[in-house]
Amino acid sequence: MYQVCKTFEFESAHLLSKSRDRCRDPHGHSRRVEVVLAAEKLDRNDMVCNFRWIKLALADILSRLDHAICINDSDPRLEDFKRMQAKLELFKAQDPTSEVIARLIFDHLQDKLAQATELTSEDGNTYSLPAGVHLKSVRLWETSTSWAQYSG
């Protein structure tokens, strides 16, 4: 089994309304995302897939999360953040823990893989996903010593 990993970084804030410690308050993280894809055989270019395809497939979800305040949509402070006109990423009845965000990214990429579409970059180049590629895991680093992973 061949595997490739692509890493991305973004900044976001969150608040965990179900927490009983200081994570209940708004705070930010410099997050790192590691995405692992695998295939039994290599494509005609001797790759699992082109790293650019992974980057294009995740561009929209990472753009939504970057510099956003991630918040449970049932948090009583939500209206305060809306009044501030902050960039918000709402999580339906869930606190935006690292585990939940890792699952969000996993599900997003899994949908892209299921579509098996070609993706086109801004410079007009097209990248195809080879047959047989599947998503192994998404690991989300919250700090340099703490991560959560979702494997589906």
Q: Position 81: which residue type? A: F
Separation between Cα atoms, residue 6 and residue 33, nearest integer Å: 8
Separation between Cα atoms, residue 25 and residue 151, nearest integer Å: 29
Full-model pTM: 0.94
Geometric angle at alpha carbon 82, from 81 and 84, rounded to 5°: 65
DSSP-assigned beta bridge partners for residue 120: 126
Q: Domains in the chain, start-ordered, CATH in brackets?
A: 2-150 (3.30.479.10)
Give me the tens of pLDDT residue by residue for the chain, a chain 152 residues long: 999 999 999 999 999 999 889 988 889 999 999 999 999 999 999 999 999 999 999 999 999 999 999 999 999 999 999 999 889 999 999 999 999 999 999 999 999 999 877 899 999 999 999 889 999 999 999 999 999 999 98
